[in-house]
A = this chain, B = another copy of it.
């Protein structure tokens, strides 16, 4: 009822804009020197169209981000182990963190652009709340995190902080750490937090 048929040119333009934005954020070094006019021009479209389709800059980036995030979200909410529900926490927590890390590595231009909007803290985004709740719930089933003392809550925040986009960018982009090496270091760290001592 509420949704009338969208016009063809509208959906085509929306797609062009998303593609152009993806392109630009991936190619330019810093997210903040991709301007809205750039995106509109690259898509062969006027600025009015851009803002009509996505509201504002944050809306554009969020739309891109959520689109890329969808497969991972599905794998987590209704997929097979080790990501999906029904996985033992001691196995699921590292798997979740590893998945997030890989996502941030692969799409760090988008994640960086999202954080660089400045207008809102990353902690206000609703997808952060989802990841945090998921991780907290899993952690609280692990011995030592179960008490209602909030240790699981804080640990979830802290572990997610270890895969933040600008840190990943610093390690992978600036300092040249290889993907697999970073993954194994994160796995190591996670294991330590979970209380599984690693060999020297």
Contacts and interface: CB of A to CB of B under 8 A. Distances in A.
Interface in A135-176: 143-144, 146-147, 149-151, 154-155, 157-158, 161-162, 164, 166-167, 169-171, 174
Contacts of A143: 200
Given A118-B32, A200-B143, A192 B189 contact: no
A58 to B, nearest CB: 13
Contact of A197 (B119, B144, B166, B185): B144
Number of copies: 2
A158 to B, nearest CB: 4
Query: Per DSSP, are chain A's interface residues mostly helix, strand or loop, or mixed?
Result: helix
Interface of A: 32, 116, 118-119, 121-124, 143-144, 146-147, 149-151, 154-155, 157-158, 161-162, 164, 166-167, 169-171, 174, 177, 181-182, 185-186, 188-189, 192-193, 195, 197-198, 200
